[in-house]
Amino acid sequence: MANLGYIGLGAMGGRVTKRLLDAGHTVTGYNRTKAKAQWLLDAGMHWGDSPRAVAEAADIVFTMVTNTNALHEVFNGPDGILAGLDATKIFVDMSTVSPAASRHLAARVAEKGSHMFDAPVSGSVITLEQGNLSLMVGGDASVYEQLKPVLLDIGPKVNYVGENGLAVLMKIAINLNLQVQFVGFCEGLLLAIKGGIPAETALVVMLNSVIASPSLKYRTPFILDMPEEAWFNVNMMQKDMLLAEELGRELGVALPTVAISNQMLTAARAMGLAEHDFAIVYKVLARMSNVDL
């Protein structure tokens, strides 16, 4: 069993931490709002008063934060992760951030004789709770073998992608599909509804067809019953779409469906729906199509 640290105990990070605790690992955690981590403290997690304290207490320290700026906030400064690292430790960032920023942080970690990995996940709250989460990993291949057993306690599918930054690039390439697929699904659904097919019937038929990917199967029920707590809200989804567009420009890859689908998220934000799960874009498209919700 490993001595671990976890920084960022939100909807996904908190549940990852719980899986690590359930697997028998010692975990020291930190979150900006301590009250949100109380359920993990009740489950046996130790508390660190700062990201640095967590890094000092752990042999392997994980982060899962909202964006690149949030990662810099917990990484830098006298109370940041970097200040608590040494050559005996491994830093694993599970956030979806800029690949260039991730590589830059990895170089700074290497200066301290330590190793950094980017290890974002593919899946949702329900995928994680069912034990079906998949992970992709970028970093030193030889040290990866040391890290892999702990990652397998998070999810059963762990794929090594290559050097630092490539795993988060892979994650962005995957995540852009979530929004693009969902927008296409909603367009088809609205076409069926406006043509006279009841929404419930159209949903069942579409989810029994060849278009029903795993991501659509667990998110399309939100069209009829939006969850109180967003699994992945509009702001988070748009952050990933903007990262994809930035990489498309950098690498010279045309991403026309990303650009169009991203505008649905901008419209959702304009309607005051930013904190809802990104499935709320159905409401945006329904208004554009004059379909009653």
Which CATH number goes with the domain that contains 137? 3.40.50.720
Please give the residue range of the domain that contains residue 75.
3-163
| Paired strand residues for 92 | 62, 117
Which one of 116, 137, 163 terminates a domain? Answer: 163
Residues 48 and 13 in one domain: yes
pLDDT over 90 (residue 45): yes
Predicted confidence band at 250 (pLDDT cuts at 50, 70, 90)?
very high
Residues 144 and 205 in one domain: no
Which one of 163, 194, 228 terminates a domain? Answer: 163
Residue 183 · residue 285 · CB < 8 Å: yes
Residues 135 and 185 in one domain: no
pTM of the model: 0.91
We report the CATH number of the domain holding residue 221 as 1.10.1040.10
Alpha-carbon distance 261 to 281, whole Å?
Answer: 9
pLDDT over 80 (residue 86): yes
Q: For residue 72, what pLDDT is reported? A: 97
**What pLDDT digit, counting tens, does each position of 10-28 carry?**
989 999 999 999 999 999 9
pLDDT over 80 (residue 283): yes
Q: For residue 124, what pLDDT is reported? A: 82
pLDDT over 80 (residue 210): yes
Which one of 132, 163, 194 terminates a domain? Answer: 163
| Number of domains present in the structure of the chain | 2
Q: For residue 293, what pLDDT is reported? A: 66
Residues 54 and 114 in one domain: yes
Token pair in block for residue 79: 């109370």
- Can you give the three-state secondary structure of 210-242, one letter per residue? CCCCHHHHHHHHHHCCCCCCCCCEHHHHHHHHH
For residue 104, being part of any structural domain is answered with yes
Predicted confidence band at 241 (pLDDT cuts at 50, 70, 90)?
very high
For residue 238, being part of any structural domain is answered with yes
Residues 169-187: what's their mean pLDDT?
96
